[in-house]
Amino acid sequence: MEQDKQNPPETDRQALASAAKARAPAEAAALLAEYPAARIAEVLQDLPPALTQDILAELPGGLVDGIAHAAPEQTVAQWRTNQQFAQGSIGRMMEPVRAVFRPQMTVRETIEQLRPLVRTAFITYGYIVDDGGRLLGIVTMRDLLFADDDTPLDSIMLRNAFSLTPDLALADAMKLVLDRHYPVYPVCDSEGRLLGLVRGQTMFAEQAFEITAQVGSMVGVEKEERLATPLKGSFKFRHPWLQINLATAFIAGAVVAIFQDTVDRLVILALFLPILAGQSGNTGCQALAVTLRGMTLGELKAGAERALVVKEASLGALNGAFTGLVAALGMFIVANYQDNPNALMLSLVVWIALVGSCVASGIAGAMVPLTLKRFGFDPATASSIFLTTATDVVSMGLLLGLAAMLI
């Protein structure tokens, strides 16, 4: 008999949570919308807070109200707090703080309050706040275990605890916690009031997803697409970028068309067009990868862009000069084999074209993500498509243009 969705077993709740994690927010919302509000509320509590916010934004308002009535009051309050912050910020990833205590409480009183909490929540630290909700310190389970029952918390708590701010971008937060490796981080506003907590595991998982999504973004695969995305959704995500890629390919084709007479006269050049395009393309991809890595890790400081472009241009010149010698030798051998009287000049053309195209591709590999970022776009978004266009146009244009002028 088909399982009744009104009262599915606990395993079904876990399966729903796993299925939602494997989908983009809109698809996860469509999946969960088939279930009662109470069940959705339970499943959302098993999901990463940022994903929960994205799913809630996709659900109908009436269903969201039902979910809010079914979920615990503290959880709903945390959801509403998280909604105030931008995507990709620490504020979107906060969980509610359950173990909150006053500094004058004793160890005995604290443990009595913890007993029911640990049955329903994973408690790592106790958070000590004043009457205004400002974080004074934290207390570890070890300190509670070894302290006397009548010891007040303010005598064993760790003061000046490290905390994050809710508007901090994930990438910036990762730099701050890189050498700390705490399991949980309190999140406080500018006045020190405790707003929530974020788990290190959640931060690293979200950052890992961002890094893996970069590879797809470079070729026009949206971050929302997952393995479980339906065929129609994948087509919708990918096809527009392929149309853009086709349009840019026509630009490269137009360059060849301009020099059609040169190609007809020197057919041997057609053998080396893909060689130059491939070599300069790889040079550009190397520059692109290093630039994106530096931007992701925060290594690219303001004002260092010019030095980066100069470095990549210089690397392109060096790599082009040495690989150009091999390509020029190949042209010389092939041209001599075909008894072409311009073998030496053709070799020179190939060498100059490869050096020039590698310089241009190195510059493009650095400039494309920098330009996208300057205009407010994701630096990785389809950067490979724009880079390929630039390298193809320059490499083919140089080879055919130089041949037309010199031979």
Q: In terms of domains, do 209 and 231 share one?
A: no
Q: Does residue 81 form part of some domain?
A: no
In a domain, 177, yes or no: yes
Question: Are the CB atoms for 312 and 362 separated by under 8 Å?
Answer: yes
Query: Is residue 89 in some structural domain?
Result: no
369 shares its domain with 272 = yes
- Regarding whether 363 and 312 lie in a shared domain, the answer is yes
Say if 153 falls within a structural domain.
Answer: yes
Q: What is the model's pLDDT at position 5?
A: 44
CB 174, CB 160: distance < 8 Å = no
Same domain, 324 and 364: yes
With b for 16 or more beta-carbon neighbours within 10 A and e for fewer, the 41-74 pattern comes to: bbbbbebbbbbbbbbbebbeeebbebbbebbeee
Domain membership of residue 145 as a residue range: 100-216
For residue range 122-171, list pLDDT tens digits in order.
899 999 999 999 999 999 999 998 999 999 999 999 999 999 999 998 88
**What is the total count of domains within the chain?**
3
What type of residue sits at position 90? I
Residue 77 placed within a domain:
no
CATH at 399: 1.10.357.20
Whether this model's pTM surpasses 0.75 = no
Last residue of a domain, one of 183, 216, 249: 216
Tokens 């409480």 appear where? 105
3-state secondary structure of 269: helix
Alpha carbons within 13 angstroms on the beta-carbon side of residue 98 total 17
CATH of the domain at 174: 3.10.580.10
Portion of the chain with pLDDT greater than 70, in percent: 90
Question: Could you give the C-alpha distances from 340 to 238, 262, 312, 349, 388, in angstroms and in order?
Answer: 46, 15, 36, 14, 32
Q: How far apart are CA 363 and CA 62, in angstroms?
A: 52
Are the C-beta atoms of 70 and 76 separated by less than 8 Å?
no
Do 173 and 252 fall within a single domain?
no
Do residues 228 and 209 share a domain?
Answer: no
Residue type for 41, please? A
Q: Tell me which of 79-88, 95-104, 226-235 is least confident.
A: 226-235
What is the distance in angstroms between the CA of the first residue and the CA of the last residue of the chain?
Answer: 80
205 and 238 both lie in a single domain: no
Query: Strands of 135-140's sheet, edge to edge?
Result: 100-101, 125-129, 135-140, 158-159
CA pair distance 72, 117, nearest whole angstrom:
13
Confirm whether 237 is domain-assigned: yes
Q: Are 350 and 323 in contact (CB under 8 A)?
A: no
Higher model confidence: residue 280 or residue 232? 280
Residue 283 lies in a domain: yes
Contact, 172 vs 298, CB < 8 A?
yes
Name the 3-class secondary structure at 220: coil
Condensed to tens digits (0 to 9), the pLDDT of residues 376-406 reads: 777 766 677 788 888 888 988 899 999 888 8
Model confidence pLDDT, tens digit, residues 42-63 = 999 989 898 899 999 999 988 9
Strand 125-129 versus strand 100-101 pairing type: parallel
Mark whether 277 and 389 lie in a shared domain.
yes
Read off φ and ψ for residue 100, nearest 5 degrees.
Answer: -115, 130
Both 65 and 107 in a single domain? Answer: no
200 lies in the same domain as 251: no
182 shares its domain with 284: no
Asked if pLDDT for residue 344 goes beyond 60, the answer is yes
Q: Is residue 356 part of a domain?
A: yes
Same domain? 182 vs 230: no
- The token duo for 121 is 């929540």
